[in-house]
């Protein structure tokens, strides 16, 4: 029986999700669209012309017979939406961050407790082929004891697109007046947005509970933002592994750095989305593994449908989303309380 799915928010990131839903059209059908923008809904109507349109998710939840929803709302709307969806007894996948505060996370955890609902955090970069292979090698013990893990995601927000004509205005997600420039709607700054990616990648590879964090944030290029455009976070895990997250909308990934880098007893493992390098101790040159490029948004949606059908926990469940949020909120606490002062 095909799953009946409602799309809650139909903007840019939801259109990436659509590529996944189109791959499981024989198993799941998008039957309802929610967005305050008729233009955003119109984009989806090209692909699902029979879907019913709503400008409010409460109206959809009241009228539609659904099995699951896909949530791509701005950050500050995640918590109330999730609470309504869980109360309705629907499976869900939600874009990062799961929510904005630890109190909101506790509400969601309590609402999900004892239910058989699948709640998946849409952590698409966890489906990087190189990251999955790194996780396999670590889990099998092939690297020996893990010492430290670095995870990074840095780029300059608002640069002209490659090949742009002279004078063509660049697009930015943090232009004045946009919700991402508003700290109250974001729940912070860059760290709780793009910084979510390197944080969940690090926690995924470590596979342990974080117990202590320290952080420094800065605002260098995106001056109109109310919060940081750059952050560095140090993390200690319960087994002694140390980790570092570097994330920014103000600078590119430093030369020679990688999306993730694991230093262990038997050597180093580092790479990006589709390339993984393994450099054993005392070897000068690494062995390189190349993987076919995959659409990670497609992979996460297909995985979500698999989990709903089979009643299994996702690769990145809502509990993983809570762990990431704990690291980020405690990082903000560290900065706000001035503990970094010398």
Q: Kindly tell me if the per-residue pLDDT of 252 is higher than 60.
A: yes
Query: Do 97 and 214 share a domain, yes or no?
Result: no
Dihedral (CA of 293, 296, 297, 302) sign: positive
Instruction: Identify whether residues 242 and 253 lie together within a single domain.
Output: yes
Q: Say whether both 241 and 131 belong to one domain.
A: yes
The pair of three-digit structure tokens given for residue 81, joined into one six-digit string: 């939406």
201: closest CA among 316, 117, 299, 309? 316
CA distances from 305 to 17, 19, 28, 119, 214 (A): 12, 13, 8, 11, 37
On whether residue 89 sits in a domain, the answer given is yes
| End position of a domain, from candidates 92, 123, 154 | 123
Contact call for residues 291 and 64 (beta carbons, < 8 A): no
pLDDT at 230 over 70: yes
156 and 243: one domain?
yes
- Asked if residue 315 is part of any domain, the answer here is no
163 and 288 co-located in one domain: yes
> Model confidence at 169, in pLDDT bands (50, 70, 90)?
confident
Residue 15 to residue 11: CA distance in whole angstroms: 6
The per-residue pLDDT for range 36-82, each reduced to its tens digit, is: 999 999 999 999 999 999 999 999 999 999 999 999 999 999 999 99
Residue 169 and residue 271 share a domain: yes
Q: Give the domain extent around 56.
A: 3-123
148 with 286, same domain?
A: yes
Q: Is the pLDDT of residue 96 over 60?
A: yes
**pLDDT over 80 (residue 10):** yes
Q: Does residue 106 sit in the same domain as residue 168?
A: no
Nearest to 202 by CA among 210, 212, 214, 194: 210
Binning pLDDT at 50, 70 and 90, where does residue 168 land?
Answer: confident
State the chain's mean pLDDT as an integer: 96
* Domain closes at, from 123, 141, 164: 123
Q: Which of 72, 101, 123 is the last residue of a domain?
A: 123
Report whether 274 contacts 128 (CB < 8 A). Answer: yes
- How many helices, marked H, and strands, marked E, lie in the chain? 10, 14
Query: Which CATH number characterizes residue 33's domain?
Result: 3.40.50.720
Is the predicted pLDDT of residue 271 greater than 60, yes or no? Answer: yes
Domain CATH code at residue 131: 3.30.360.10
Q: Quote the number of domains for the chain.
A: 2
49 with 156, same domain? no
User: Same structural domain for residues 54 and 83?
Assistant: yes
Residues of the chain with pLDDT > 90, as a percent, come to 92
* 62 domain-assigned: yes
Q: Are residues 155 and 279 in the same domain?
A: yes
Give a yes or no: residue 321 inside a domain: no
């Amino acid at each position: 029986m095909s799953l009946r799915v409602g799309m809650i928010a139909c903007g840019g990131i939801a259109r990436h999700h659509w590529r996944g839903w189109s791959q499981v059209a024989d198993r799941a059908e998008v039957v309802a669209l929610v967005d305050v923008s008729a233009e955003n809904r119109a984009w989806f109507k090209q692909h699902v012309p029979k879907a019913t349109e709503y400008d409010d998710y409460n109206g959809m939840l009241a009228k539609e017979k659904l099995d699951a929803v896909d949530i791509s709302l701005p950050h500050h709307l995640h918590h109330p939406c999730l609470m309504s969806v869980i109360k309705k007894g629907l499976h869900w996948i939600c874009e990062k961050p799961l929510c904005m505060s630890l109190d909101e996370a506790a509400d969601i955890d309590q609402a999900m407790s004892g239910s058989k609902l699948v709640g998946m955090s849409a952590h698409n970069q966890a489906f990087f082929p190189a990251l999955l292979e790194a996780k396999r090698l670590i889990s099998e013990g092939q690297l020996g004891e893990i010492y430290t893990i670095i995870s990074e995601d840095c780029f300059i927000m608002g640069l002209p697109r490659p090949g742009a004509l002279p004078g063509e205005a660049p697009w930015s997600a943090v232009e004045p007046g946009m919700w991402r420039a508003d700290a109250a709607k974001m729940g912070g700054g860059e760290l709780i947005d793009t910084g979510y990616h390197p944080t969940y990648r690090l926690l995924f590879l470590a596979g342990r509970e974080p117990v202590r964090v320290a952080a420094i944030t800065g605002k260098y290029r995106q001056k109109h933002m109310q919060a940081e455009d750059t952050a560095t976070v140090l993390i200690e895990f319960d087994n002694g592994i140390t980790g570092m997250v570097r994330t920014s909308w103000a600078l590119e990934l430093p030369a020679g750095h990688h999306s993730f880098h694991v230093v262990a007893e038997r050597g180093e493992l580092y790479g990006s989305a589709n390339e993984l390098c393994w450099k054993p101790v005392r070897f000068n040159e690494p062995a390189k593994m190349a993987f076919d490029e995959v659409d990670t948004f497609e992979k996460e949606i297909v995985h979500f449908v698999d989990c709903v059908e089979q009643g299994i926990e996702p690769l990145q469940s809502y509990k993983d989303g809570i762990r990431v949020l704990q690291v980020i909120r405690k990082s903000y606490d560290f900065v706000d309380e001035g503990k970094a002062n010398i």
